Structure 1
Amino acid sequence: MRADDGVLLTPGMRVGLLGGSFDPPHAGHLHLSKEALKRFGLDRVLWLVSPGNPLKADAPARLEKRLAAARALVDHPAILVSDFETRAGTRHTARTISAMQAHWPGVRFVWLMGADNLAQFHRWQDWQDIMRRVPVGVLARPEARLAARGSVAAQVFSHHRLSGRAARLLGRADAPRWCFINIPMMPHSSSAIRASGGWTR
């Protein structure tokens, strides 16, 4: 099935979903995506460039600008860029995932996030529904693991955690299931790039 933005996904594919404003996209997003492909046994990683983050007060740059920058940055055939959230009219992750599962039946989606997001995941709307709907892969710097592993989400779903040694099984796992792995992270952040004047809204 092909979405209007040209993303082709077929039943049985294991697809990681990396959501965010990508304001701007940077090498850290690319590095995390490549690690997720390798470590979680995924066939694709889909960047979901959102119209806006409900947890952030400031509006991001124009969607068209962020999409173009993301597509120009991607240098791997298994990493795709999509504005599905805008096309589906969803702003919260739980609803976006539900809409994607309806749009691409049979595709095995995995939600991807950094450890900083896991630490405040319980603030997301319907966060427990997300955990029960798709497996979740958490990628983090070694020094960030304590706060993430002590988070509300990690505690509530502690019995559903997959060990790092079994990380490649995550793409085939049934939810609720989550896995935490340490990866060398790159010192890039969208906020730092904006602060340096390297990206204007």
Structure 2
Amino acid sequence: MKKFIIPFSMFILLSCGGEEVKNEGSEEEEISEETISEEEVFADDIADSYVPDDQMDGGQKCDDRPIEVYLNDPDKGGTNVRDTPNGKVVGQLKEDDINVAFFITVYEASNGWFRVNNIIEGMEEDFMFNDNGECWIHGSVLSVDTRNYEGETIEVMGGPTYGIQQPDHFIDKEMSGFHLLDKCGPWLKVKGNGIEGWIHSEWLCGNPLTTCS
């Protein structure tokens, strides 16, 4: 009988050991799945605001969602509206006693030029340029103001994104007259008041005569 007892005991030990390894492997698989899930949640949290550097170059992959700005040209002789960046002049905007301000929608930027809606709204009348619907105005004559009316702090970023880098500047009071340098989706790169950088459009107002709600 002893000849059969020893192998049977070893068989029981080996069986238990094998089951133990199997259980440990299952626990590792569960931990791994939980880790991946947490990483996916983090990626989802920043996906809406993060634009990788290789997608920001020249604004090639930035969408053309509209942002409201206003005309701010120190030359009151008239502002040229062109059919392409630095292209043919298709019209002029001139502020006067009737149209004391022009409200303009920008869609995309190219080397300092901004594609705008071909129907530009004045105080008393609208102006339409270029039948094909594409018009361009230089960013040096376009402006926005900040809308932190209750003293909120605005973060001015080095690129069109939150959360990946530290802000270059902070704005804790209302400021006006920022000129446009570039655009990427809902972000504008602006310059003025001793500040240059990217500001999200939720903190910008394109109306110099009143506040934006």
> Which TM-score band applies after superposition, normalised by the shorter structure?
under 0.3
TM-score scaled by length of structure 2: 0.22
Higher relative contact order (CA 8 A, sep 6+): 1
Q: Which has the higher strand share?
A: 2
Of Structure 1 and Structure 2, the greater helix share is in 1
User: TM-score, normalized by length of structure 1?
Assistant: 0.23
